[in-house]
């Protein structure tokens, strides 16, 4: 959950691969060394809505007591030992039904953490592996992938800007789609400044169904023009490499 939208686009792709950060300053399974009495609550203790709300208020300000904002988000991530750009934070936001990147409302917090039976940092640390495991289910991953589009784009825009889109694609597909590096390169040199929801959803389907050699790609299929152009571009790149190799041998 980045501090802000622009920070997301700048840092996610540097810090993340699918499910695991490239560098983690804090162990995912450790509880912070500076523990309050709240953190001494045993993970097996029953869920308390009152305790959950008290925990939420540790991350809010008197001016906005029902909104956990970017500063509170950083402190929350520090308390549970997770980088803000970790994909597990996207899964948690999905569980909460959060509507804006970098923010949790009190209602969203209660919804998600009641379902997870979490009312303390200690309990959340225990749940992190479960949250990551949700990504291993193809249907759940598809739901989270689609959720990420509306969650990450600017609420007043119909499409996701290309910088945010590339960062989120790196986060979600970077380690699991063999053609992702080529697709990212294609986007870099393309005319596209934004990605719409139809394109976003079809990128996932393309990554799941089209083989790395493009042999099962149907030019008459119902893919968005963006993906037709990607295939044309990639085939051209490969033919140029083949020609260069043949000419030097």
Paired tokens of 57: 């208020």
Q: Using 50, 70 and 90 to split pLDDT, how confident is the model at 29?
A: very low
Average pLDDT over residues 95-120: 97
Paired tokens of 104: 């949790």
- CA 126 to CA 115: how far, in whole Å? 14
Of 143, 141, 103, 105, the closest CA to residue 8 belongs to 103
DSSP 8-state symbol, 29: T
Let me know how long the chain is. 249
Q: Quick one: CA dihedral 206, 208, 213, 218, positive or negative?
A: negative
Domains 5-136 and 177-248 share a fold: yes
For the chain, the domains span 5-136, 177-248
The per-residue pLDDT for range 194-249, each reduced to its tens digit, is 999 999 999 999 999 999 999 999 988 899 999 999 999 999 999 987 766 655 55
Strand partners for 64: 61
Fold designation for 177-248: Recoverin; domain 1 (1.10.238)
Q: Is the pLDDT of residue 20 over 90?
A: no
Across 222-238, b (16+ Cβ under 10 Å) vs e yields: ebbebbeebbebbeeee
Query: Rounded to two decimals, what is the model's pTM?
Result: 0.80
Helix (H, G, I), strand (E, B) or coil at 190: coil
The percentage of the chain sitting over the pLDDT mark of 70, rounded to a whole number, equals 80
Is 5-136 a CATH 3.40.50.1970 domain? Answer: no
For 215, other C-beta atoms within 10 Å of its C-beta total: 7
- CA 166 to CA 175: how far, in whole Å? 14
φ, ψ for residue 248, nearest 5 deg: -90, -10
């Amino acid at each position: 959950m980045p501090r802000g939208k622009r920070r997301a686009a700048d840092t996610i792709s540097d810090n993340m691969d699918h499910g695991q950060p490239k560098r983690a300053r804090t162990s995912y399974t450790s509880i912070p060394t500076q523990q309050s009495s709240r953190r001494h609550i045993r993970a097996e203790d029953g869920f308390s809505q009152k305790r959950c709300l008290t925990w939420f208020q540790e991350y809010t300000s008197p001016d906005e007591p029902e909104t956990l904002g970017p500063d509170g988000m950083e402190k929350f991530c520090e308390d549970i030992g997770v980088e803000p750009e970790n994909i597990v934070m996207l899964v948690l936001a999905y569980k909460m039904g959060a509507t804006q990147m970098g923010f949790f409302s009190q209602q969203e917090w209660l919804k998600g953490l009641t379902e997870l039976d979490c009312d303390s940092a200690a309990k959340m640390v225990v749940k992190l592996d479960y949250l990551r495991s949700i990504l291993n289910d193809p249907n759940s991953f598809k739901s989270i992938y689609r959720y990420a589009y509306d969650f990450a784009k600017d609420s007043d825009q119909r499409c996701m800007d290309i910088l945010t889109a590339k960062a989120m694609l790196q986060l979600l597909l970077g380690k699991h789609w063999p053609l992702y590096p080529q697709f990212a390169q294609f986007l870099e040199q393309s005319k596209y400044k934004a990605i719409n929801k139809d394109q976003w959803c079809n990128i996932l389907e393309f990554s799941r169904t089209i083989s790395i050699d493009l042999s099962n790609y149907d030019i008459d299929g119902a893919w968005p023009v963006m993906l037709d152009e990607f295939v044309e571009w990639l085939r051209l790149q490969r033919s140029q490499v083949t020609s260069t190799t043949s000419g030097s041998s």
